[in-house]
Amino acid sequence: MNNQEKQPEQALHQHHLTQIILSFQESQAIITAAKLGIADLLKDGPKSVDELAQLCHAHPETLYRLLRALASIGIFKEEDHTVFSLTPLSHYLRSDVEGSVHSLALMVGDTKAWSAWGDLIEGIKQGEVVFDHKFKMSFYDYHTENPEFAKYFNQTMFNHTSLLTQHVLEVYDFSPFQTIVDVGGNHGYLLSSILQKYPASRGVLFDQPFVIEAVEKEHLKNNPFHDRINAVAGNFFESLPKNGDVYIFKHIIHGFHDEKARQILQNCRDVIGDGTLLIIENVLSNKNNHSFSAFMDLQMIVMSGGKERTEAEYQQLLEQAGFQMTRVIHTSSPVSIIEAVAK
C-alpha cells in the first residue's frame, strides 16, 4: 500500500478517534436533557421549543441548539422547524417507562460523580480510588450524605435489574430452591420475578436498613408476592441470613476489591451449608475485544475501588473464600451467572 492509499485509511482512524475523544459532549447533552425532563414533556406528542422552554424554564434559543444536536444522533426528532418529538432512543429517557435510563443519566451527571472521572489519571498512577482521594469520602458514604444521589443510584439499579432479569430466568432453573436469599436486592425486582415464575419458593430480601425501610414503606405492600418475601436489614460485611437454599449476589461483588469481596463471600460461606451461591456479574472477556465490562472496570477504579473480573479471577476469589465454582452460565445480556458451592 502506497502513501496515497494510506491517507484515506489514516483519515478514518483520526476521525474515529476524534469522535471518541469528544463523546463527552454527547453524554453531557443527554444528561442535560434528562435534567430538564424533555422526554417526559414529549411523551404525549411533539412540542415546539417555545412550549418546552416554558415548561422546563429554559432559554428557547439555546434549548433549540441542544435538541438539534441530540436530534443529529437520533435522540429526539425535529419534525418541523423547532418542533421536536421522541424517538425509540429518547423513549428510554422518560422517567416512567420500563428500562428507563433517566436515573442513570442523572446519576452520571451528578457533579461529584462526573468530576471524579476527570481525575482518572490519579487512580491509574497511584492505584487509589479516585472518588475517595478527591472528595475524602467513599462513594458509599456519599450515598448517605446525598439522598438524592442515592435515589438515582437505587433507581438505576432497579431499572437495570428489570432489563437483565428475563435473561437470567431464561437460562437458570430455580425450581430446586425453596428459600431464595437476594443479597443487596434493592427493591426486590429480581426476587419477585423469580417468585412469580416459581410459586413454591419463598424469598429473603437482604439489604441495608435504609433500603429495607423504603421497601417496606413503598414497595413491599404493593408487591403481589409480599406474603412470600421476608425483608431483612443488615450488613453483609458482618453476617447474612441463615437457612437459604440459594444466595444471589447481583452486581455486588464487583463493587469491592479482593479483600472486601472475600470477606463478603466468607460471610456467605459461614451460613450457606449445602446451598448454592450465584454471582451475577459482567465477566471480562478476551483481550482486545470491545467490552462494556472493561469500561465498567474503569468505573470501579473511579468510584468504588472494586473491579470487574475474568472467569479465572472469580474462580480464585471463590476458592479463597471456601467455595468451588461449578459452572459459568452466559446469558444473552452482558451478565453471566457464576455458580458455586461450599468446598
d(CA 115, CA 113): 6
Q: Which residues of 118-147 are buried (b: 16+ CB within 10 A; e: fewer)?
A: ebeebbeeeeebbbbebbeeebeebbeebe
Residues of the chain with CATH 1.10.10.10: 5-109
Residues of the chain with CATH 3.40.50.150: 146-342
Looking at 39-43, 220-224, 272-276, which range is the least confident one? Answer: 220-224
User: In sequence order, which ranges of 37-72 are alpha helices (DSSP H)?
Assistant: 38-41, 49-56, 60-71
**Does the reported pTM lie above 0.75?**
yes
Res. 4 pLDDT band, cuts 50 70 90? low
Instruction: Tell me the three cell numbers of residue 107.
Output: 446519576
| Residue whose C-alpha cell is 435504609 | 210
Q: According to the model, what pLDDT value does residue 290 have? A: 63
What is the dotted CATH code of the domain comprising 146-342? 3.40.50.150
Q: According to the model, what pLDDT value does residue 320 have? A: 98
d(CA 37, CA 93): 8
Task: Write the DSSP symbol of residue 182.
Answer: E
d(CA 136, CA 130): 10
CB atoms within 10 A of CB 99: 11
161 to each of 16, 237, 264, 274, how far by Cα in Å?
32, 23, 21, 27
Inform me whether the pLDDT recorded for 210 exceeds 90: no
Q: According to the model, what pLDDT value does residue 222 have? A: 78
Inform me whether the pLDDT recorded for 3 exceeds 70: no
pLDDT digits (tens, 9 = 90+) for 244-262: 999 999 999 999 999 999 9
pLDDT digits (tens, 9 = 90+) for 168-197: 999 999 999 999 999 999 889 999 999 999
Q: According to the model, what pLDDT value does residue 5 have? A: 60
d(CA 306, CA 117): 15
Res. 289 pLDDT band, cuts 50 70 90? low
Active site includes 13?
A: no
Average pLDDT value over all residues in the chain: 94
Class of domain 5-109: mainly alpha
Residue of 133, 254, 257, 290 with catalytic role: 254
Among the listed residues 209, 159, 216, 219, the one whose alpha carbon sits nearest the alpha carbon of residue 184: 209
